[in-house]
Amino acid sequence: MIVYDQTTRTFFLHGKSFSCALWVHPAGYLVGLHFGGPIGGDDLRYFDPSARELSFSPIPPDVDSYFSLDVAGSEYGSFGQGDFRTPSVLLVRENGERASRFHYVSHTICDGAPDLGVLPSARGGKTLSITLKDVLSEAEIVLNYTLYEDSDVLVRNAEIVNRGSSPMRLLRAESFCLDLAAGEYDVLRLHGRHNMERMPERTPLGHGSVKIGSARGASSHQMNPFLVLLERGAGEDAGVCVGFELLYSGSWMLEAEETQTGAVRVSGGINDLGFSWLLGASEKFITPQVAICYSAHGLGEMSRSYADFLRGHVLPENRVYAPRPVLVNNWEATYFDFDREKLCALADEAAPLGIDTLVLDDGWFGGRNDDLTSLGDWFVNEKKLVGGLGPVIEHCKKRGMKFGIWFEPEMISEDSALYRAHPDWAIGRADVPRCKSRHQYVLDMTREEVTDYLFARMSDILSRHEISYVKWDMNRHITEFYSASLPAERQGEFAHRYILGVYRLIRRLQAAFPDVFFEGCSGGGGRFDGGMLCFFPQFWTSDDTDAYERAKIQWGTSYGYPLSAMSCHVSACPNHQTGRTVPFSARGAIASLGATGYELDLGRLSAEEKAQVKEQIANYHEIEQLILRGDLYRIADPYQGNLFCVAVMSKDKTRAYVVGMRIHALPGDFDRRIRLKGLRCEQTYTVEELGLTLRGDTLMNAGLLLPRLPDFGSWVWHLSAKKNS
* Least distance CB 254 / ligand GLA (angstroms): 25
Site for ligand GLA in 400-459 (CB under 6 A): 406
Nearer to ligand GLA, 221 or 313 (CB): 221
* Least distance CB 201 / ligand GLA (angstroms): 24
What is the C-alpha separation between 148 and 125, in angstroms, rounded?
5
The verdict on whether 543 is a catalytic residue reads yes
Would you give the binding string for ligand GLA spanning residues 322-351, x where CB under 6 A is met? ---------x--------------------
* Least distance CB 541 / ligand GLA (angstroms): 10
- Binding to ligand GLA by residue 473, rule CB under 6 A? yes
Give, in order, the Cα–Cα distances in Å from 445 to each of 182, 424, 450: 43, 12, 6
Report the residue closest to ligand GLA, judged by CB: 362
- 3-class DSSP state of 250: coil
Rg value, the chain, Cα: 27
Q: Note every long-range contact of 339-344, with CB atoms under 8 Å and residues 24 or more positions apart, other chains counting.
A: 339/384, 339/385, 339/386, 340/385, 340/386, 340/387, 340/391, 340/392, 343/385, 343/392, 343/395, 344/391, 344/392, 344/395
The region of 51-59, 67-75, 481-489, 517-525 touching ligand GLA under the rule CB under 6 A is 517-525
- 3-class DSSP state of 392: helix
Nearer to ligand GLA, 521 or 636 (CB): 521
The region of 51-59, 116-124, 448-456, 516-524 touching ligand GLA under the rule CB under 6 A is 516-524
Would you give the binding string for ligand GLA spanning residues 37-56, x where CB under 6 A is met? --------------------
Residues 6+ apart with CB under 8 A from 446: 483, 485, 486, 494, 497, 498, 500, 501
- Binding to ligand GLA by residue 362, rule CB under 6 A? yes
- Binding to ligand GLA by residue 366, rule CB under 6 A? no
Backbone angles phi, psi at 62, to 5 degrees: -105, 20
What is the C-alpha separation between 199 and 10, in angstroms, rounded?
40
- Binding to ligand GLA by residue 577, rule CB under 6 A? no
Binder among 404, 523, 562, 630 for ligand GLA (CB under 6 A): 523
What is the C-alpha separation between 318 and 296, in angstroms, rounded?
32
Would you give the binding string for ligand GLA spanning residues 524-563, x where CB under 6 A is met? x---------------x--x--------------------
- Binding to ligand GLA by residue 521, rule CB under 6 A? yes
Q: How many CB atoms lie within 10 A of CB 256?
A: 27
DSSP letter, residue 415: B
Residues 6+ apart with CB under 8 A from 399: 347, 348, 350, 351
- DSSP code string of 678-715: S--TT-EEEEGGGTEEEEHHHHHHT-EEPPP--TTEEE
* Least distance CB 457 / ligand GLA (angstroms): 18
Nearer to ligand GLA, 525 or 678 (CB): 525
Binder among 75, 258, 361, 444 for ligand GLA (CB under 6 A): 361
- Binding to ligand GLA by residue 475, rule CB under 6 A? yes
- 3-class DSSP state of 476: coil
Nearer to ligand GLA, 385 or 521 (CB): 521
Nearer to ligand GLA, 29 or 535 (CB): 535
532 Cα distance to chain centroid: 7
Nearer to ligand GLA, 213 or 523 (CB): 523
- DSSP code string of 325-359: P-EEESHHHHTT---HHHHHHHHHHHGGGT--EEE
- 3-class DSSP state of 468: coil
Nearer to ligand GLA, 10 or 542 (CB): 542
- 3-class DSSP state of 395: helix
Would you give the binding string for ligand GLA spanning residues 367-406, x where CB under 6 A is met? ---------------------------------------x
641 Cα distance to chain centroid: 27
Would you give the binding string for ligand GLA spanning residues 630-669, x where CB under 6 A is met? ----------------------------------------
The residues with which 569 forms a beta bridge, in sequence order, are 597
Nearer to ligand GLA, 309 or 406 (CB): 406
* Least distance CB 347 / ligand GLA (angstroms): 18
Three-state SS sequence of 184-200:
CEEEEEEEEECCEEEEE
Which of 671-698 are b and which e, b meaning 16 or more Cβ less than 10 Å from the residue's Cβ? eeebebbbbbeebbbebeeeeeebbbeb
- Binding to ligand GLA by residue 236, rule CB under 6 A? no
Catalytic position from the list 186, 444, 473, 529: 473
* Least distance CB 291 / ligand GLA (angstroms): 26
Tell which residue, 146, 176, 145, 143, has the closest CA to residue 160: 143
The region of 2-10, 492-500, 521-529, 704-712 touching ligand GLA under the rule CB under 6 A is 521-529
Count of residues interacting with ligand GLA (CB under 6 A): 11
Tell which residue, 63, 552, 119, 568, has the closest CA to residue 314: 119
* Least distance CB 358 / ligand GLA (angstroms): 14
* Least distance CB 138 / ligand GLA (angstroms): 47
Cβ–Cβ under 8 Å, residues 600 and 331: no
Would you give the binding string for ligand GLA spanning residues 284-323, x where CB under 6 A is met? ----------------------------------------
Cβ–Cβ under 8 Å, residues 327 and 598: yes
C-alpha torsion 637→642→643→644, nearest 10: 50
Catalytic position from the list 361, 377, 543, 546: 543
Nearer to ligand GLA, 330 or 585 (CB): 330
Site for ligand GLA in 171-200 (CB under 6 A): none
* Least distance CB 525 / ligand GLA (angstroms): 8
Nearer to ligand GLA, 440 or 650 (CB): 440
Nearer to ligand GLA, 119 or 474 (CB): 474
Tell which residue, 396, 386, 390, has the closest CA to residue 339: 386
- Binding to ligand GLA by residue 114, rule CB under 6 A? no
> Catalytic site residues?
473, 543
Residues making contact with ligand GLA (CB under 6 A): 331, 361-362, 406, 473, 475, 521, 523-524, 540, 543
